Amino acid sequence: QVQLVESGGGLVQAGDSLRLSCAASGRTFSSVAMGWFRQAPGKERDFVAVISVNGGSTIYADSVQGRFTMSRDNAKNMVYLQMNNLKPEDTAVYYCAAGRWSTMTREHYYYAYWGQGTQVTVSS
């Protein structure tokens, strides 16, 4: 059992930065891959980034490559998403998710636990 709570969303202008945080609880947090997903109004939930168990490897969606950086601090049970040079198309509810095991994947169905989401709105 893993519980996740996102925070850090807000309203910003294009070109600005935000850092999202996800606080995790549960005995298995440090043993699974963690992901970030986002969902815009009327759209499917899309992959954003995933990080390996020890934080040594990351994979990003093409749309955020070079602008977003995912990290984790297992000692603090925290995962982060640093978002730079935000664009209006980044507007969405952002969710953190815990994987079922150590595998890093872009597929949402792999993730067993989800936070409640935090809203990011980018104005042009």
pLDDT in tens, 31-84: 899 999 999 999 999 999 999 999 999 999 999 999 999 999 999 999 999 999
Give the whole-angstrom CA distance, residue 82 versus residue 46: 17
* pLDDT over threshold 80, residue 28: no
- Average pLDDT (92-120) is 95
For the ranges 19-28, 62-71, 104-113, the one whose mean pLDDT is highest: 62-71
Model confidence band, residue 30 (pLDDT cutoffs 50, 70, 90): confident
Quote the Cα angle for 70-39-43, to 5°.
140
What is the average pLDDT value for the chain, to the nearest integer? 95
* pLDDT over threshold 90, residue 27: no
Give the model's pLDDT for residue 1. 76
Give the whole-angstrom CA distance, residue 86 versus residue 105: 24
Encoded tokens for 108 = 């949402």
